[in-house]
Amino acid sequence: MGGAGEFWVKLWGVRGTVPCPGPSTRRFGGNTACVEIRCGPHRLVFDAGTGLRVLGNAMAASEGGRHDAHLFLTHTHLDHVLGLPFFKPAYQPGNCFELWAGHLRRAGRSLQEVLCRLMESPYFPVPLDIMHACIAFHDFDAGDVLEPIPGVRVQTAALRHPGGATGYRVDYGGRSICYVTDTEHPEHGHDPAVLALIEGAQIVIYDATYTDAEMVRFRGWGHSTWEEGVRLCEAAGAGRLVTFHHDPERDDTELDLIDALLGDRFPGSLVGREGMVLEP
């Protein structure tokens, strides 16, 4: 595990909606949402899309002994949970995982109940309780401030998405990384909750499913644009935008084009790519 002051983020899956492997998405990647944030020796994971399977395989291959992690879900749409049944370390006795979600309690649901249904027959061959790692479930209300580990502060905010979603900000050692996906910006002005969440952050990973030009056709779908990501970061004094939740129809050539436009418009910013590691 890493040193005490180490703080970085790795993108394991950057797609939204549905996995889209194939030659046209090979460079940016076809796995759905999964982001790892390392705070010294502690591992935080955000979303359990199909990128989580790849992270789990890397954990199983590279490190002996026990694995602990906190896994925070933005919400439980399939593209954000589909990797969970294929996360090998969850089946290993001795490992410990704490799962968190902020969109269910207000709706009278619980994360444990919702994830049990995901692995229920006839959708999956074995039930959730066959996972032999120690697994704890935590429901909170988006907007709460969490401290899952002493010294690691996790701020949360309710996002504008069908069924609700939660945005996150991780503060560690005086630096901040934000993970804000599955959210639709208002037609006029910015979402004040997002603006407050990302204030002064070094890295902002943000929902860029669409472009501003496409957005007119997709109002109400609960997603945003790379251009809105830039405007938000500028308004909030944030350092660097990393676009995320790419539309599965967006091929590598289009993402290269957006990457170039983004770099001109807000230097230091990048289109999120599977396998990318960034330090704030």
77 or 169, CB closer to Zn ion? 77
Work out how close the CB of 222 gets to Zn ion at its nearest, in angstroms, rounded to a whole number: 6
168 or 172, CB closer to Zn ion? 168
Q: What is the 3-state secondary structure (H, E, C) of 196-213?
A: HHHCCCCEEEEECCECHH
CA distances from 167 to 87, 155, 268 (A): 23, 8, 22
Q: For Zn ion, which stretch binds (CB under 5 A), given 72-80, 81-89, 225-233, 270-278?
A: 72-80
Residue count at the site for Zn ion (CB under 5 A)? 4
Work out how close the CB of 183 gets to Zn ion at its nearest, in angstroms, rounded to a whole number: 9
Beta strands 34-39 and 7-13: pairing type? Answer: antiparallel
Cis peptide before 186 (omega within 30 of 0): no
Tell me how crowded residue 42 is: count the other CB atoms within 10 A of its CB. Answer: 19
176 or 209, CB closer to Zn ion? 209
Q: What is the CA radius of gyration of the chain?
A: 18
Work out how close the CB of 214 gets to Zn ion at its nearest, in angstroms, rounded to a whole number: 16
Which one of 36, 47, 79, 247 is in contact with Zn ion (CB under 5 A)? 79
Which one of 36, 139, 182, 191 is in contact with Zn ion (CB under 5 A)? 182
- According to the binding rule CB under 5 A, does residue 274 interact with Zn ion? no
Work out how close the CB of 67 gets to Zn ion at its nearest, in angstroms, rounded to a whole number: 26
79 or 227, CB closer to Zn ion? 79
Q: For Zn ion, which stretch binds (CB under 5 A), given 70-78, 108-116, 210-218, 234-242?
A: 70-78
Q: For Zn ion, which stretch binds (CB under 5 A), given 100-108, 117-125, 142-150, 175-183?
A: 175-183
Query: Nearest to Zn ion by Cβ — which residue?
Result: 77
x-marked contacts with Zn ion along 114-153 as a string, rule CB under 5 A:
----------------------------------------
139 or 182, CB closer to Zn ion? 182
Cα three-residue angle 268-269-270, rounded to 5 degrees: 125
- According to the binding rule CB under 5 A, does residue 16 interact with Zn ion? yes
117 or 132, CB closer to Zn ion? 117
Q: What is the dihedral sign for C-alpha 246, 207, 85, 124? A: negative
Which one of 15, 77, 160, 246 is in contact with Zn ion (CB under 5 A)? 77
42 or 103, CB closer to Zn ion? 103
223 or 240, CB closer to Zn ion? 223
Interacting residues toward Zn ion by CB under 5 A = 16, 77, 79, 182
